[in-house]
Amino acid sequence: MARLFGTDGVRGLANADLTPELAMSVAVAAARTLVETDSSHQPLAIVGRDPRASGEMLEAAVVAGLTSAGANVVRVGVLPTPAVAYLVSQANADLGVMLSASHNPMPDNGIKLFAAGGQKLPDDLEAKIEAAVADGHGLVGRPTGAGIGRVHDLLDGAEHYVKHLVGSVPHRLEGLRVVIDCANGAASDVGPAAYEEAGAEVIAIHGEPDGLNINDNCGSTHLDAVREAVLQHGADLGIAHDGDADRCLAVTASGDVVDGDQIMAILALAMRDAGTLTDNTLVATVMSNLGLRLAMQREGITMIETKVGDRYVLEELAARGFALGGEQSGHVVMPAFATTGDGVLTGLHLMAQMAATGKSLADLASVVHTLPQVLINVKVGDRTAAASAGTVTAAVSAAEAELGETGRVLLRPSGTEPLVRVMVEAGTEEQARTVAEKIAAEVRAASPAA
């Protein structure tokens, strides 16, 4: 069986790759894998979704699978992914299921799983669930009679989540006007509500999901709309979320983009000054810009790098008790308040720092001088052989010597495609591209694509 789980759950074209039958099988396997056998305990599962039309179909399949495995289910409806994780924790549930393909186009959907406490699954648990799906163990030994799970709806989950978010904010947001791009997604209601309750003047755009328009030329992957709205309304900033609102990107009053690296830097300095940044340490992935590392060095903050993927950031945060981590893409994790990336939480704390200091977002973001970055995806015959070839490693070493401390090279075989990703940062765009193309040529020659 092909690998079922990707970097963030099970994802694919709904009703083609991700069918109701597969969703049901995953639900049964998850219930049996995540809940230890205990005849005195009937497990509890929280199930939420984003507004995609296919989510209605997949929710029905997941609920059927969970209840057939003996789990009681609480449906929370359309809510952000971090809200589902929060409710799993608050309800002492045994597992949570979020149906969303995050920033992907509407035809896709996905299944994100949470263990008790609202934690994402480690690799070993995902492997067990994959094995259970492949073996079809969920098709036998199901409970009957009173052992079948029951289904209930939680009607005030959004209110609990918003109250939690607003309660986390260290400074009120009065005096700030913000444009929120909801991506016609899961935060279309709770996002504007949270910002308003925290004191901001909110102008919401793309907040009318119809099941078909999620991420459609809007949200964190399409920033033109929020930039235009900020300029039109004279707002202090704009914030863009993705379909399930686990991301947050921002734009300044003049429309300049503030990415996840800059947001992490702003929050790291705020937390350092407040004494809440554990060991003065920030956790980020290897894809974060060198400019972030240099900025943190200047400010006396240690930066630890992980592999690409917010799951690895989460693992490092949990293992060592750090207080802040995230990705350039806008997944930012604040473990004191959330067990996963939370876009609305991030936006609230970003704005709180603006309100507390009286500084503009542009001023706060200027702590990071982002170096020009060039990424080339090289199609190859054998990605492992290409990345490890002597000619390639020699080219990388030469490039690193040329760039010194003013740039860096990252060579990374794709985990799923016949590609080697060549990323170069340098003092100028021209230098970064020249160096990247030299390395890419060596990669291509080392293992030509068929």
Mention every residue, 6+ apart, whose C-beta is less than 8 A from residue 298.
Answer: none
Distance between CA 60 and CA 63 in Å, rounded? 5
The answer to whether residue 5 is domain-embedded is no
Q: In this structure, are 198 and 346 located in the same domain? A: yes
Which segment of 72-76, 270-274, 426-430 scores lowest on mean pLDDT?
Answer: 426-430
The answer to whether residue 4 is domain-embedded is no
Q: In this structure, are 419 and 399 located in the same domain? A: yes
The model's pLDDT over 193-236, given as tens digits with 9 standing for 90+, comes to 999 999 999 999 999 999 999 999 999 999 999 999 999 999 99
The model's pLDDT over 66-96, given as tens digits with 9 standing for 90+, comes to 999 999 999 999 999 999 999 999 999 999 9
Which of 138, 155, 172 is at the close of a domain? 155
| Residue list for the binding site | 102, 242, 244, 246
The answer to whether residue 57 is domain-embedded is yes
Q: What is the mean pLDDT of residues 266-274?
A: 98
Strand partners, 240: 181, 249
Q: In this structure, are 84 and 22 located in the same domain? A: yes
Q: Is the pLDDT of residue 35 over 60?
A: yes
Can you give the residue range of the structural domain that contains 30? 10-155
CATH of the domain at 264: 3.40.120.10
Residue 158: C-alpha distances to residues 65, 97, 150, 162 (Å): 25, 16, 22, 6
| Residue list for the binding site for Mg(2+) | 102, 242, 244, 246
pTM of the predicted structure, to 2 decimals: 0.92
Q: In this structure, are 401 and 353 located in the same domain? A: no
* Angle between the N-to-C axes of helices 343-357 and 260-274, in degrees from 0 to 180, rounded to the nearest 10: 60
Place of tokens 């755009």: 205
Q: In this structure, are 172 and 129 located in the same domain? A: no
Q: Are 31 and 82 in contact (CB under 8 A)?
A: no
The model's pLDDT over 400-418, given as tens digits with 9 standing for 90+, comes to 999 998 899 999 888 667 8
Q: Is the pLDDT of residue 139 over 70?
A: no
The answer to whether residue 205 is domain-embedded is yes
CATH of the domain at 427: 3.30.310.50
The predicted structure's pLDDT at residue 42: 87
The predicted structure's pLDDT at residue 39: 53
| DSSP assignment letter at 117 | G
DSSP string across 9-65: BEEEEBTTTB-HHHHHHHHHHHHHHHS---TT---EEEEEE-S-HHHHHHHHHHHHH
Q: Is-catalytic flag, 388?
A: no
Q: Which two tokens stand for residue 81?
A: 């992914």
The answer to whether residue 196 is domain-embedded is yes
Which of 155, 182, 215 is at the close of a domain? 155
Q: What percent of the chain has pLDDT over 90?
A: 86
The predicted structure's pLDDT at residue 140: 64
Which one of the listed residues 25, 89, 100, 102 is annotated catalytic? 102
Q: Are 347 and 239 in contact (CB under 8 A)?
A: yes
